[in-house]
Amino acid sequence: MEKIIIEQSKELNGEVVISGSKNSSLPILAATILYSGTYKLSNVPDISDVRTMLKLIESLGGKYSFKNNEVVVDSSEISHYEAPYELVKTMRASVVVWGSLLGRFGKAKISFPGGCAIGDRPVDQHIKGFESIGYSTKISNGYLETKKITSIGGEHFFDLKSVTGCENVILASTLGDKKTILKNCPEEPEVVDLINFLNFCGGKIVKKSDTIEIMPSSSLKAPNKAYKIISDRIEAGTFGVLGCLPGNKIKLKNINSDDLQVPLKIIKKMGTRVDIAKSSITIEGGGEIKPFNIKTESFPGFPTDLQAQFMVAALLANGESKIIEEIFPSRFIHVAELRKLGANIKLKNNTAIVNGVASLNGARMQASDLRASACLILAGIIAKNKSEINRVYHLDRGYEKIDNKLMNLGVKIWREKE
């Protein structure tokens, strides 16, 4: 295993090219299973979660190549409908192969998904959605076994705005027998990207606000040209936090500012200068950080995946900030690690009350999940002296070459064997 060492780094300046979206790449890769063909994708981040998804596709009988952020998937020989425990347990997002296998074979068998430790994320929304459109699921020996029991199609209202639940039902109904209408759907850009990809391949899907209508299609076609994955708004927001720290000036390239309206609004409230261009944003920290309040919500609200990173800015703010976590109430595991640096944070139910301090001091920390890893990296950059972060394999699941990107900005960061 590796650990990351960071020394306090000030006056960071430069450009960061934001990678393709992890949360778009995974369901779109899963979608290539749906119909036999050779699919080309560009702007795919070279991260361990993408590599795991490609191995999963290979285990089902598919073939792939991955070079220079371009993926080619040949799904013509996929013949298995069981997603193996060894791969699914390592990455929760692999659950989206469930819908694709149902769409292709009318049946699927997957183990309960794994991932990082940020609370209970059940699959009930997936199962309810499948049942509404003609599938039945039973649980046996740690596996979810789903099969078609009637013609596929119908109407479903989601109890919660589950992103992967909605994506799975979209995939399971795209090649259905009759029209499917999904209501109370999440509006995240990654869901829209999946819909755009399926339509790119010949799907007949229309999204109107939080309602999605899927007309039955007997087949899909793998286009000759590549489909480009959208940029990663969470990576952009992570580097955006770094830019808003006093003395820093960072330009984010390959970005869609429309996907970051609420995080950018919070960054501006901190007293940060933000210049938005067509496909880039320049963020320059002010003399001090003003306190702020955020509440995580489904898109277009503030994303839960940026909550931990924005907390780092609150650590040095001139006053009290409040962060309310509405999506995953237990997603405050990183708070204990930040306290090791001298952070003043109080937790009350799903609210973190952060009082800014004059400075932080480096310490040894341990990452618990992907976004907490990014949070601890940012904290190590602003803390005096040296910080050490263990279990950084979480970081590599979702951030492409983050060490190099940080070093190019002037951050003193390197890896060592634990």
What's the pLDDT band for 218 if we cut at 50, 70, 90? confident
Question: Cα(146)–Cα(291) distance, rounded to whole angstroms?
Answer: 49
Q: Which residue has the tokens 């109107």?
A: 208
Look over the chain and give the mean of its residue pLDDT values, rounded to a whole number. Answer: 93
Q: From its phi and psi, is residue 209 left (phi > 0), alpha (psi between -120 and 50) or beta?
A: left
Main-chain phi, psi angles of 185, to 5 degrees:
-85, 150
Does position 236 have pLDDT exceeding 80, yes or no?
yes
State in Å, rounded, how far the first CA of the chain is from the last one: 6
pLDDT band per the 50, 70, 90 thresholds, residue 114? low
Give the pLDDT band (50/70/90) at residue 123. confident
For the CA atoms of the chain, what is the radius of gyration?
21
pLDDT at 30: 97
For the ranges 53-62, 143-152, 318-327, 364-373, the lowest mean pLDDT is seen at 364-373
Please confirm, yes or no, whether 116 is among the known catalytic residues: yes
* pLDDT for the residue numbered 190: 98
C-alpha 12: how far from chain center = 26
Q: What is the SS3 assignment for 301? A: coil
Domains of the chain, earliest start first = 2-19+231-417 (3.65.10.10), 22-228 (3.65.10.10)
320 has which bridge partners? 355
| Residue 352 confidence (pLDDT) | 96
Look up residue 400 and give its two tokens.
Answer: 């492409």
Q: Kindly state the tokens that stand for 43.
A: 């702007």
The span from the CA of 154 to the CA of 274, in Å, is 46
Q: Which amino acid is at 375?
A: C
Has this prediction a pTM greater than 0.85?
yes
Residue 63, C-beta contacts closer than 8 angstroms, at least 6 positions apart = 73, 74, 77
Q: Which of 116, 166, 185, 244 is catalytic?
A: 116
The contacts of residue 361 (CB under 8 Å, 6+ apart) are 341, 342, 383, 384, 385
Q: Which residues are CB-neighbours of 381 under 8 A, at least 6 positions away?
A: 6, 8, 9, 12, 242, 406, 411, 413
Residue 116 confidence (pLDDT): 42
* CA distance linking residue 185 with residue 159, whole number of Å: 9
The pLDDT value given to residue 85: 81
Q: What is the DSSP string of 213-281?
A: EEE--S-----SSPEEPPB-HHHHHHHHHHHTSTT-EEEEES--GGGGHHHHHHHHHTT-EEEE-SSEE
Q: Which residues are CB-contacts of 182 (< 8 A; sequence separation ≥ 6)?
A: 129, 155, 156, 158, 166, 169, 170, 211, 212, 213, 214
Look-up of token digits 């959208």: 230
For residue 359, pLDDT over 70 is answered with yes
CA distance 389 to 320: 27
Mean pLDDT of 329-337: 87
Report the C-alpha gap between 254 and 231 in whole angstroms.
7
Average pLDDT over residues 225-235: 97
DSSP state of 20: B
Give the pairing of strands 70-74 and 293-295. unpaired
Residue pLDDT, tens place only, 63-82: 999 999 999 999 999 999 99
- Look at 121 and 357; give whichever has higher pLDDT: 357
Tokens of residue 349, six digits: 């139910």
